Structure 1
Amino acid sequence: MFYGELNMKSSYKALIFDLDGTAMPVAFDALPSDRVAEAVMRAQKVVKVSAATGRPITVCRQILKKLNLTQPCVISGGTQIIDPQTEETLWEKRLSEEQVKQVVDVGKPYSFQILFTDEIYKHGVPAKDKKINGSERVIYFMDVEIKDEEAILSGIENVTDVVAHPVASWNHARIDIHITHAEATKKHAIEILLDILKVDKEDVVGVGDSNNDLPLLNSVGYKVAMGNATNKLKEIADYVAPSVEEDGLATVIEKVILKKPAN
């Protein structure tokens, strides 16, 4: 579907959306606009609303607080589901210490920063200097040079039961790579989240912008790609919303959840 076309059910029971590039612009300290936050507040009176993000709690706490979400949310790239009000872990899947060691070894020839689980951006160190202290939920390769992406992904493919997810970096000239257990992706986490929410796939609206949101959109009944989304997302979308700069998520809520007519 193209922007403006709305071929949908009369009602839905849940809304799940990505954060970076969907709820707010891609930037380390970005927050949702007031319009988006207000739309989310109204949506929560009608359906169950959750976020699904690659960010750990340390760098999505303020975002979840502004949105005042009350339903469980997927964080850390699909490795963890939390209660956003209490930050209690409801489900998680971790990389073993041996898997962590092998992934770090892949990064040792390079100079990018590596972060574990809840560590904060800009507090990382090169892989060759990284200390391993046990299992982790997610490993972040931050600010990877584009020319190194293929070799790094190839190296990670050799680690058993591990998957790598290239995503947009806050440094727009580079990329980030999120590495998780093969059973801790957005796809697995969304399936578990739907069980927790007690809703069927067909009754859920999903909204995203990047290729790592493909598992989210493939796990819901109504697929929405942002106007700034990748072509892959737009190709499978039921509806292409306005861009994040145009508060596209608010438009989705108004048109699909609240059924607000156009002016």
Structure 2
Amino acid sequence: MKNYYSILELKLFAHAADVKRAYRRLALLYHPDKNPTPEAAAVFVEINEAYQVLSDPQRKFDYDQMLQGAPPPFTVQTHQRDPRFRRGPARESASVRRQVLQAMRDYLQYAVACSRLALLFSVVLIADYSLPANQTREEILSISRKRESRYAQSSQLALDGGEVITLNPLTAQEFKLGSIITIHTTALFSVPLLLENEKTRFKTRVPVSIYGNFKFLPLIMLATSLLGTFWWKGVEFRFNVGIVNLLLILLGFVFLRIHSF
């Protein structure tokens, strides 16, 4: 037997006035005129069903008797005032769906906080890329070949600062032993952007980095974080956007550490 008091978020045997207040409060959240999603309509079916029983004094009395273990004088039947809310097979999961929506509502503030944090992070990334780059001069101490796979090779440049740079063999031909190279890195996170041969002025960009092949990440994060921060309609939508923004933040930190010439 369903617990209609639980559906209306009431204590057992609550008074009629409490039932009416609870119904009005939940109707504002789940009525199709207020929340047009199919999930909300399914939840409202059970809310409406519970109210039909508990708002009628005789039916509420009989229902309370059944909760206390007394034999029912008749079987409780409900009649929907609106044919849109008649139950069907797809309505059986309404209680679970309602619990999920309630959990989203309880943790919505944390999801919004993730969106705000993602907005701040995306702005910092854009500023990091836009600010004038730092330049570091290094001497090439050695050049060696490395077989990455059966058909692929790479060249490794050992620099006097202790760093080892991996290049494809074609690009590595532009750098010679003893050459001075300039590494251009971002101002805030020191992400490499450009490698320059000081003598020949040959330059090559860093394709594998958050500002190279992964440059879509800061832009997507900026768009989704703006939605999660400033869009105030729909609990489920805002909660899901917050989760997406949290994942984008984690990916951003990972991509900040991944770069290859």
Q: Does TM, scored on the shorter chain, surpass 0.5?
A: no
TM-score normalised by the chain length of structure 2: 0.23
Higher relative contact order (CA 8 A, sep 6+): 1
TM-score normalised by the chain length of structure 1: 0.23
User: Is the strand fraction higher in 1 or 2?
Assistant: 1
Larger gyration radius, structure 1 or structure 2: 2
